[in-house]
Amino acid sequence: MSAIGGTDLYQKHRGDTHRYALGIDVGGTKIAVGLVDTLKATVINVEKIATPQDSRSAQTLLLVSELAESVFMTAKSEGTPITCIGLGVPELVTLDGEIVSKHVVCWETEEVHATLSTIAPLSIFSDVQAAAIAEATFGAGTNFPLCLYVGIGTGISHTLVIDGHPYRGASGNAILFGSSVMSSICEKCGSIQESIVEKVSSGPGLVAAFNEVGGGAVTAEQVIAADASGDSAAMDVVKRAGNRVGEAIGNLINVLEPHIVVVGGGLGSNAVGSYWESLQSAARRVAWAPSMKDISIVHAIYGDMTGVLGAAISAAKAEKEKN
């Protein structure tokens, strides 16, 4: 694949020994491994596969290792020295790189290191925090001291980047706005209604909601296409999904007051039509401060390569800090 990116913001580090790194982005629908020039923020070569249906199996980690080995050997044959690997996973990852949840991949940290560290030194990150670093440092959030990154794909999560550093919270898990439960109690009947943003506005959420009303979608892209073609059921589903995640983003804006909101992830990077329009209008409607009513809400520049790029950049930075 041809190189992606090209912005050279790190001229002063031109001799950095950790210039070239492997970035691995493991998601709910795809796995991508790329060779990254971390100085130019360029993905030089990338290999992708669909995430296996049984993503929690040990076989998935083996597939990731094979992809990484393939990209590494290609780089080696071309004389490109890879000195580290960054792995972004859709899980909770502690400040010291321990995977502590098993929602998408069922991997033990020690097992991951034993498998991938044979190729090059490995650092593990939450995928949304890695992606946020890429966009805040080289992408749409460049030159904004407070960049709020929101990833929308198989799941929904966020990271606030402050002056180039992701705010990770007390233990590393300040990413979970999409998984938070919002409950309301009916004053008349006492019933409790629970709403989770991911269940409504993620890719799988769109598919499930559309199919519940007679649709036959397999992917979120099919639901978005049905919306664009004027399918009334799809239009309702997509508008509701965009509105719900937009409201949640608006609440984040109220709490964090960023300079910009960058929306990435497989669905977020490509969101168009009523999903995108509903997201933006709902976020600005919920935003309270007058200064936040016109906040920029933009797509991630690097699209589905944001995770690969961010994982590699984060790994190179981690290795440099060790030395």
Same domain? 95 vs 151? no
Same domain? 43 vs 164? no
Residue 95 sits in which domain range? 4-134+304-322
Same domain? 153 vs 261? yes
Burial 80-119 (b: 16+ CB within 10 A, else e): eebbbbbbbbbbbbeeebebeeeebbbbeeeebbebbeeb
Local mean pLDDT, 10-residue blocks, the chain (323 residues): 46 58 95 96 95 81 96 95 96 96 92 96 97 97 97 96 96 91 68 80 96 94 95 96 96 97 95 94 96 96 95 94 80
Q: Residue 107 is part of a domain; what is its CATH number?
A: 3.30.420.40
Same domain? 221 vs 84? no
Same domain? 9 vs 126? yes
Same domain? 258 vs 238? yes
Same domain? 262 vs 308? no
How many CB atoms sit inside 10 A of residue 254's CB?
A: 13
The per-residue pLDDT for 49 is: 95
The per-residue pLDDT for 272 is: 87
Same domain? 32 vs 55? yes
Same domain? 313 vs 286? no
The per-residue pLDDT for 179 is: 84
Report the number of distinct structural domains present in the chain.
2
Same domain? 98 vs 157? no
Same domain? 112 vs 53? yes
Same domain? 57 vs 174? no
The per-residue pLDDT for 267 is: 94
The per-residue pLDDT for 50 is: 92
HSE-CB for 164 with a 13 A CA cutoff: 7
The per-residue pLDDT for 15 is: 44
